[in-house]
Amino acid sequence: MKVLKFGGGCLKDVKQIKKLPSILKEYDNDIIIVVSAFGKLTNLLDEIYSSKNRNFDLVLSFFKDIMLRLKLSDQSIKIVIKNCLDLFSLYKFSHPGFLSIGELVSSQVLSFYLKKNNLNHTLFTASKIIKTVDTSVNSTINWQATFNSLKNHKNLFSTSSSFPILTQGFISSLDNNQNFSPTCLGREGSDYTAAVFGHILNANEVILFKDVNGIYSADPKKHSSAKLFLELSYESAFKICNTIKTVVHPKTIKKLEEKRIPLVIKNFDNISAVGTKIS
């Protein structure tokens, strides 16, 4: 089983979103697809939450425009818009809950689009499994509670007909049996989510799709002489990612190293490129 993660930069507009079905068809069904909110949507939600009037119309327009350009059915659009409004009503006074709308609705839109392209899958809410010890937008994972939650969904993840499974990065929830309290894993949390799923499900490989070919010695967009690393050890990758700003957060690497799960960084726009393999 492999975990494939697609960030907001890869899914920044309709042109990019339309590439997703063909990429997924390159893989066997035995995959978990982790997606971020489209583009800079998380930033927009953060700005709206911080504003006085919390005008949600911008978010509704954002999603409606994408769905129309993806040519989703009127029924699908109605379902998504209703879900948007329900989530806004539910989470308008919860910062992590409000931010989670981006991932929840983006994954729902993608689900409709993948089905439109004859890619059957199961849409699953990541926060049902990934549990945290606090309620912030930069929460710490409660690993014991997360493994316990996984047991409650054992049938889903052990049944071949459930796959592929489409889920969200970034979002989580407090370990509280009384009430569901949304939490978030912080910026770059979607990469970490992919590592978490890889870790708890003992994946064969985790693949992060980015807008560059892999990990470089420097920012390739700023330094033409930057060297691409084709292979790195966990230790070397951790040091590089701690020293310079790269496309992978160090904590993502550490979680996979614990179970010796290979991490591959590939270019969303050039999937034939080798990329960087960390193992």
Q: Residue 75 burial by CB count (10 A; 0-12/13-18/19+): exposed, middle or buried? A: exposed
- The pLDDT tens digits of the residues spanning 117-165 come to 999 999 999 999 999 999 999 999 999 999 999 999 999 999 999 999 9
Q: What is the mean pLDDT of residues 52-78?
A: 96
Tell me what pLDDT residue 222 has.
84
Tell me what pLDDT residue 146 has.
96
Structure tokens at 40: 């800079």
Supply the mean pLDDT for the chain: 94
Tell me what pLDDT residue 245 has.
74
Tell me what pLDDT residue 186 has.
92
Tell me what pLDDT residue 114 has.
98
Single pTM value for the model: 0.96
Domain residue spans of the chain = 2-203
Instruction: Tell me how far the alpha carbon of residue 21 is from its chain's centroid.
Output: 16
| Sheet of strand 31-35, all strands in order from the earlier edge strand to the far edge | 122-123, 165-168, 31-35, 2-6, 205-210, 263-267, 276-278, 231-232
Tell me what pLDDT residue 179 has.
72
Tell me what pLDDT residue 178 has.
65
Q: What is the mean pLDDT of residues 156-182?
A: 90
Q: CATH code for 2-203?
A: 3.40.1160.10
- The pLDDT tens digits of the residues spanning 209-267 come to 998 899 998 888 788 888 999 999 999 999 988 887 778 988 999 999 999 999 999 99
First to last CA, the chain: 17
Q: Residue 136 burial by CB count (10 A; 0-12/13-18/19+): exposed, middle or buried? A: middle
- The pLDDT tens digits of the residues spanning 99-119 come to 999 999 999 999 999 999 999
- How far from 189 is each of 5, 26, 53, 136, 237, CA to CA, in Å? 11, 26, 28, 13, 18
**Which residues are 211's β-sheet partners?**
none
Question: What does the H/E/C string look like for the chain?
Answer: CEEEEECCCCCCCHHHHCCHHHHHCCCCCCEEEEECCCCCHHHHHHHHHHCCCCCCHHHHHHHHHHHHHCCCCHHHHHHHHHHHHHHHHHHCCCHHHHHHHHHHHHHHHHHHHHHHCCCCCEECCHHHCCEECCCCCECCECHHHHHHHHHHCHHHHHCHHHCCEEEECCEEEECCCCCCCEEEECCCHHHHHHHHHHHHCCCCEEEEEECCCCEECCCCCCCCCCCEECEECHHHHHHHHHHCCCCCCHHHHHHHHCCCCCEEEEECCECCCCCEEEC
Considering the chain, what percentage of its residues have pLDDT values greater than 90? 86
Structure tokens at 30: 């035995």
